[in-house]
Amino acid sequence: MEIIDEIKEPTSTNDPDFTMSREQNPTSYKFDCGTCNNQVEIDFQRQISNSWTGKSEGIDEGDFKSLKRFYNIGSTQKSHEGGQPVFDKIDCSTCGTKYMTYCGVREFSNSAYYVQVQGILRIK
């Protein structure tokens, strides 16, 4: 994994992009592809589903370690705002540019989650 640039940087502020208890939630976080300006989407439900393993299947162990190192996720294994870090790999559907995304996921009550998009990296 080679990082080209950082589209979004993490913050320790707790400011969820998705909260299950909120009405009329968006189902995904959209950002502009850094290459073609098409919209790329981070699906919130997918991040919640991956919160047990901390990553999607497309991310191998080497990249998983690199991502945790890059974001300084140490022995506490907490995301910047205090949730569970979850990484995903997404391709732009128009131009194929690859992204690694980093979200914080927290179960704040029984089966109710929030998702906060923390980081987006354009990679090669």
Residues that bind Zn ion (CB under 5 A): 33, 35-36, 38, 92, 94-95, 97
- 21/38 with CB nearer Zn ion: 38
Nearest approach in angstroms of CB 44 to Zn ion is: 21
Per the CB < 8 A criterion, the answer to whether 108 and 116 are in contact is no
- The position carrying tokens 């980081």 is 119
- 60/91 with CB nearer Zn ion: 91
The 3-state secondary structure of 72-123 reads: CCCCCCCCCCCCEEEEEEEECCCCCCEEEEEEEEEEEECCEEEEEEEEEEEE
Nearest approach in angstroms of CB 35 to Zn ion is: 5
Nearest approach in angstroms of CB 24 to Zn ion is: 28
- 11/94 with CB nearer Zn ion: 94
- 86/90 with CB nearer Zn ion: 90
